[in-house]
Chains A and B, each alone.
Chain A
Amino acid sequence: MENNIEGVETNTRIYEVGYLLLSSISLEDMPVVYGNLKDLIVSLGGEIISDEMPKTIPLAYTMTKVIQNIRNKFDTAYFGWVKFEMSPDKVLELKKKLDLDVNFLRFLILKTIRENTIAAKRFVHKDSRRKTTSSKKEGENETVLPIDKEEIDKEIDAMVAA
C-alpha cells in the first residue's frame, strides 16, 4: 500500500526496518547489535541507504516479551531504523532471521521510498520563519524608535529655543 518507487535494478525495492531493542542491553553492547543488523542486511545483498543509531525512548505503553519462559515487561527500549534496498525474496529471509534474534523487542519491515521521508527539517524552517517574522517585528520597533528619538530631540530643541 505504501508508495514504492522501484529500485534502479529491476528486482530490488526500498525497505525500512524500524526496531526496538531490549532495554536490558547495555549501552556498550548496543552498537554491536546495531552493527550486526547492518552486517546482516549487507550479507543478504542489501544496500544501506540511511539509518539512525538506536536511542533510548520511553515507550507509549508497556510491552511484554517472553524470554526463557519468563514474561518480561519493558517501559523503555532503544529505537532505531535502517533504510535499505533489497530484493523482495531476500527480505523474507531477513524477517526470519530477525524473528529469531533475541535482542529485538519488536521490529517492523516497511516498503518505503528512497528520499528522506522525515519532515522534521521543515518544522525547523517553519520555526525559523516565525523567528524571522518576530525579528522583523523587533526590527520594525527599532526603526520606529529612532524616529521617536528624533522627534523628541526636535521637541527638546524647540523647548530649549523657546
Chain B
Amino acid sequence: MKQDYFSANNIKHIDYKDVDILKKFLNPNGKIMNHKRTGVTSKNQRSLALAVKNARFLGLLPFVAK
C-alpha cells in the first residue's frame, strides 16, 4: 500500500492555495481521485477534497479539464 502523502511530507493542514500538491490527486479530467488510488488517510482525504473544491471555486483548479 502507498503511504499517506501528507503524513509522509509532514503536512498538517492541506491548503487550497497549494495547487501543485492538489494537482497530484486529480485525474486527467480534473476529478478527485479515489482514496484507494491516492493512499491518503480518510481524514486527509476529506480535507483534500475540501481543499480541491475551494481551489475550484477560486479558479485555481478546473471543475472539468478539457
Contact = CB atoms under 8 A, between A and B. Distances in A.
A81 B15 CA distance: 12
A61 B10 contact: no
Nearest to A3: B13
A9 interface: no
Size range of the chain A interface in the assembly:
20 to 34
B21 A79 contact: no
B60 A57 contact: yes
A106 B62 CA distance: 15
Contacts, number: 64
Given A122-B9, A123-B20, A60 B60 contact: yes
Interface string A61-81: 101000000000000010101
A144 B56 CA distance: 51
From DSSP, what is the main secondary structure of chain B's interface residues? Answer: loop
A120 B56 contact: no
Interface in A31-70: 57, 59-61, 63
Contacts of A20: 58-59
A81 B54 CA distance: 13
Contacts of B1: none
B35 to A, nearest CB: 17
A59 B59 contact: yes
28 contacts: A1-B50, A2-B47, A3-B13, A3-B47, A18-B17, A19-B58, A57-B59, A57-B60, A60-B59, A60-B60, A60-B63, A61-B62, A79-B59, A106-B57, A106-B58, A106-B59, A108-B57, A110-B16, A110-B54, A115-B13, A117-B14, A117-B17, A119-B9, A119-B11, A119-B15, A120-B18, A123-B20, A126-B9
